[in-house]
Structure 1
Amino acid sequence: MGVTRILTVFGTRPEAIKLFPVIHALEADPRFENLTCVSAQHREMLDQVLSLAGIEPQHDLDLMIAGQTLDALTARALVAIGQVLDAEKPHWVVVQGDTTTAMAAGLAAYYRRIPVCHVEAGLRSGDIHHPWPEEVNRRVIGIFAQLHCAPTQASADALLGENVDPGSVHVTGNTVIDALQWVTRRIEEEPGLASGLAELERRFAGKRIIGLTCHRRENFGEGMRDIATAVKRIASRDDVAVIFPMHMNPQVRAVMEAQLKDLDNVALVEPLDYPNFARLLSISTLLLTDSGGVQEEAPALGKPVLVMRQTTERPEGVEAGTARLVGTNAEAILRETERLLDDPDAYADMARAHNPFGDGKAAQRICDLLATA
């Protein structure tokens, strides 16, 4: 057999984090020729990961336009990625997760009868509006993907429940654990990569750090205001400090700055590159988040996660005890945070729970599946 030509397509920082281990594995494997295409749906945050991982895309579509609508982005991505597919004629297209880029790339490949490998397949919340539009994006990819790399058995079971061909569904583990292990090794070799929080670590010495991430569209408006209210009340304690790398979206920043910017023990910082975000996870006592990736990463470091969403497509964390759904109600967020801060047994139960998301070998499993598909 000849070399298999792979086109890996992504556009956001979370995709880049979860796909760079796969790209590294593909590039090290003589069975493959790997080409990389980025939509740059996110620009600066994406570029940070590309630089860290040493990835130079063969195709950079640079589709980011401030304030563009989801339909405009989808249309532009679909056409631009289609042109790349026509030029490169890959044997497989690899996409990850549930972004607009992943859905558009998968659809463009389907239109050309090019098989799609879906990394992190099978996540389902059961609600098409939570998370929005990601739940629909990943369901769309699930219809036509020919290789479904499910991170957990629960994800595989969700696909099988949708009558996906069982022979195309494989449990690989989640590549985010591969990425976290890789960046942790890099930081050990080069501590300066994660020195960006040193000043805050000195400023908050002796306090318990709460890491905060918040950016989901479905939380815009009242949900975001309630989260800010909860964080303000948590920050009234003198034994904690909150570090919040704020998303670039102005709908996040306006709400959070209005309530939190003048508080002494809350640090509103610019988005962190991946090494410094890994450092934030490691120094935090617990995480408040509406992110998907944090639900997977923090348990790998023994950090409890309170998920500020109504549903999660990662129920394995909740079932294992590493994560707890608290929604966006300010009272619920405050109550569950204080329970972890004030009850050592409750904290230990979550911190010691088994991480169900992988062993750091997912990328190689995916390569092996592509080689035999």
Structure 2
Amino acid sequence: MKKVMIVLDTPAEAIRICPVIDKLKQMQYTPVVFISEQVETAGVMDQILALFNVEPSHVLSAALESKTLNQLTAYSLNELSNTIKQEQIDATIVCGNTRIAFVAALASYYNDIRVTQVQPPAGNDDEASAFLGKTTEALMAPLATNRVSLGLEPALSKITTLPSIHLPITNSDTKKIVLFDYLGKSNQRSILEKSFQAMKHITNIYKEVIFVIPIKLTSLVMELANQILKGRKQIYFVKPFNILEYQSFMRRAWLVMSDNTRCLEEAQILGLPALIMKGSGNIGRHQDQGVGTAINFSKVQIVNWMERLLLDAECYETIKNRPSSKPNTQSVEQVIDLLFQNS
């Protein structure tokens, strides 16, 4: 039975790759899961692995982060090389563009093991935080036999069955829930003022609209919320979502408003219109993409677009079903087929 080493570093990578691990088991391969422990995300990583019934085989201790980058890289390379030899690995899957992905690819290359690099679809904002940055392709090209793009469809079908965050909303089935997904700096007074003013205007007129705002309650956020939104029963401030909470909550939403394109992959799969707000100080590349519509970060534009979607059901359905222009992703089966192709 052939063994496949899968190297994970983040919860986002775990969500994307766990369906591949499950399929490997079904196809009589032996997955050997190697994760890099992160203190700040350990809880949600455990939840994701438990959800998909994945048990890590090897864990690179978070205590090692106190070492220098040179020491940590050398130690990781040695640990991964030992794992490859001890487990007698036949193929390796590395996820994303992190340091551990590069080191795992290098260890596999040194041991003459085929490497498949699994990445998010092109244009996904996860790429922006890559450890290797713009040099990823140049560094990985000699090491990875295959570089494939894997979508979230298999994972979301399972995640969206999870219970989502509870809100005390009366008759929630008849409400239009708007997820306000703001990732910019919480001290951007102008942006927050315009957004809150738009919410006030909409909730004054449309009693069926509910805004859910996962955000850190800084002194500025609380000040503006008290000034503009005080007493609004249609607006809920909640603690920032982790990735599981975020994806499971999206199935309840009627609309997503965000300053970042990170929501677009999930929104596209779920058929959920998204308003991507662009302006100074915010993140991401903004243009119309499938269910996503780029708008300016202004009260007028937010209100105009929300009213258009609220009052024109045909417009809402058109955007909801608008296909994405992004390149096709590989299926779980195709990723596995490539592991030993021509070997």
TM range (shorter): 0.7 to 0.9
Secondary structure of residue in 2 paired with 1:307: strand
Q: Deviations over 1:199-218 (max 9, x none)?
A: 34438665421113344xxx
Are residues 1:202 and 2:167 paired? no
CA contact (8 A) 2:178 2:253 kept: yes
Partner residue in 2 for 1:26: 24
Aligned residues: 319
Q: Is residue 232 of structure 1 aligned with residue 200 of structure 2?
A: no
Is 1:176 the equivalent of 2:152?
yes
User: Which amino acid letter does the alignment assign opposite residue 192 of structure 2?
Assistant: A
Q: Which position in structure 2 is the counterpart of 1:303?
A: 272
Deviations 1:64-92 (A, max 9, x none): 89xx89xx896676345323312211343
- Structure 1 residue 12, shift from structure 2 partner: 1.9
Q: Highest Rg: 1 or 2?
A: 2
1:364 matched to 2:333:
yes
The code of the aligned residue for 2:57 comes to Q
Q: Is the alpha carbon distance of 1:48 and 1:62 closer, same or farther for their aligned partners in structure 2, counting shifts above 3 Å? A: farther
- What residue in structure 2 maps to residue 265 of structure 1? 234
d(CA) in 1 for partners of 2:191, 2:101: 29
Q: How does 1:161-172 map to 2 (within 5 A)?
A: none
Paired residue secondary structure (1:36): strand
> What is the aligned-residue RMSD (CA, Å)?
4.0
Aligned runs of 1:50-61 on 2, under 5 Å? Answer: 50-61=49-60
Equivalence for 2:82: 87
> Is 2:260–2:284's contact at 8 Å kept on the other side of the alignment?
no
Aligned to 2:5: 7
How far 1:25 moved relative to its partner? 1.2
After TM superposition, give the deviation of residue 24 of structure 1 in Å.
0.8
Partner of 2:136: 140
User: Any conservation in 2 of the 1:286–1:304 contact (CA below 8 Å)?
Assistant: yes
Alpha-carbon distance in 1 for matches of 2:221, 2:331 = 36
Answer whether contact 2:7 2:34 (CA < 8 A) is retained.
Answer: yes
The structure 2 residue matched to 1:323, chosen from 292, 295, 304, is 292
Separation in structure 2 between the aligned mates of residue 27 and residue 6 of structure 1, nearest angstrom? 10
Q: Which residue identity lines up with residue 9 of structure 1 in the other structure?
A: V
Q: Which structure 2 segments of 5+ residues have no match? A: none
What is residue 350 of structure 1 aligned with on the other side? 319
Instruction: Quickly say closer, same or farther: Cα 1:349–1:25, change in 2 above 3 A.
Output: same
Deviation, structure 1 residue 260: 4.2
**Greater mean deviation of Cα atoms: 42-51 or 102-111:** 102-111
Q: TM (normalized to structure 1)?
A: 0.69
Q: Which of 191, 197, 211 is the aligned partner of 2:179? A: 211
On the 8 A contact 1:304/1:323 being kept in 2, the answer is yes
Q: Deviations over 1:13-61 (max 9, x none)?
A: 211111111111122222x321112223322222221121111111223
Contact 2:35 2:56 in 1 (8 A): yes
Q: Does 1:283 align with 2:280?
A: no
- Quote the Cα distance in structure 2 between the aligned partners of 1:210 and 1:20: 29
Q: Deviations over 1:164-214 (max 9, x none)?
A: xxxxxxxxxx33011112334xx3xxxxx41542x3443866542111334
d(CA) in 2 for partners of 1:235 and 1:64? 44
Measured in 1, the distance between the counterparts of 2:302 and 2:98 equals 27
Equivalent position to 2:185, from 212, 220, 242 = 220
Note the residue ranges of structure 1 that are not aligned, 5 or more in a row. Answer: 151-173, 188-192, 247-251
Summarize the Cα distance change of 1:97–1:350 in structure 2 as closer, same or farther, 3 Å threshold: farther
- Pick closer, same or farther for the CA change 1:287–1:264 going to 2, 3 Å: same
Identity percentage over the alignment? 21
Asked if structure 1 preserves the Cα contact closer than 8 Å seen for 2:35 and 2:59, the reply is yes
SS in 2 for 1:243: strand
